[in-house]
Structure 1
Amino acid sequence: MRLPEVARGDSVGHRLMIGMISRFAGYRLPDAARVAFYDRKFVGPVLGEWTQKVMRGPSSWSVSQRELMAAMVALWNSCPFCVGAHGAIAVRGMDDAIVSAVLADYTTAPIDEKYRATLVFLEKMTRNPSALNVEDARAVLDAGVSQQELSDAAAVCAIFNIITRYANALGFEMPTPAEFAKAAGMLLRRGYG
């Protein structure tokens, strides 16, 4: 259940800020951004900083590859809002057909084995974390993924296992594809922090 304060802002200042941003952007500010204004102790600064570091910090994974990982975690967690949001960002740096193929079935999508092995690991981390073991990590490393790349991918998975659950719990409103595309541009410019 989404609290009205999350949608409109929990203070007059936040309500004005949400209204101004929505008018300036030309579309309704997505609920994910609205949550950042709600009770700054809830998720705001800390989650934003962590997400910024994971999604935009140094990594040999591209921004689009990390965004597609986030969309996959969202898919495995049945979070259509995050699939749409992060898929829209991923296509800004990847071929749309590849993003669509990965979201449809990453096991047959035209991606390299290194990325595929990473997604296998992330799926197990998301869907069956208690069964994740050393052999799973070794399989990814044997596919050519470095320890740092595996750590970076696991960080994406960890943060989006949190984000997708609160998006589902708060019942985020679904933007249109055009609104997702506009928001994707904003997130690429401004980041998550």
Structure 2
Amino acid sequence: MQASGKVKPAKEASKDPGKDSALAEGRSAREAQRRLRPPGAKSVGWALVQAARLHRSRIGDRLAALDLFAGQEQVVQALAAAGTMTMGDLAATLRVRPPTASKTISRLAALGFVERRAEAGDGRIVRVRLTETGLARAAAIERLWDEVEAELLDGFDNKERRRLRKLLRKVARNLADVTGAVGHEAEAEIDGEDEDEALIAPDVLARPL
């Protein structure tokens, strides 16, 4: 005697096995990405680190066209602003050890970007300044920085740019407070922001030369 009731029809096989395989591979890839996602992927700090790395990489690529490595542009910019500096002052400004500053200056001198002269009356003190070639590189660095800044903030309106800058400065100030980092004097904003929102310790984010 046959059992009563309707028998469920077997699930119809897909008419496109290739499509089923592609969907399965897509699900597998998404699951793998979720497993490999770092613990801090949703944190502000993680996003900040990734953005900083990409920005530094982009700057480094552009500097290579000027025969400079990332970090060396900081020396060129410091000398362009000061005119002439002692090695000790340069090291203090860049927050690096004197031997590190000396090594970088030697490399830049070999490229013809800087020149060193002993202090009149005291040969132990060496002053450094940019050559004409170095001054031209300083101007090129400024243009390069502006161009990468435009790439970085593409799609941001002026209000968003000011807000982002303000928030990043607050982040830097918070970290400077807890780490005890000592920086340059606060600089008033030129675009109307309050003076107390100026950056404290800008060298905190500077990379080694």
Give the alignment's TM-score, normalised by structure 1. 0.29
Indicate the structure whose relative CO is greater, using CA pairs within 8 Å and at least 6 residues apart.
1
Query: Greater share of strand residues, 1 or 2?
Result: 2
Give the alignment's TM-score, normalised by structure 2. 0.27
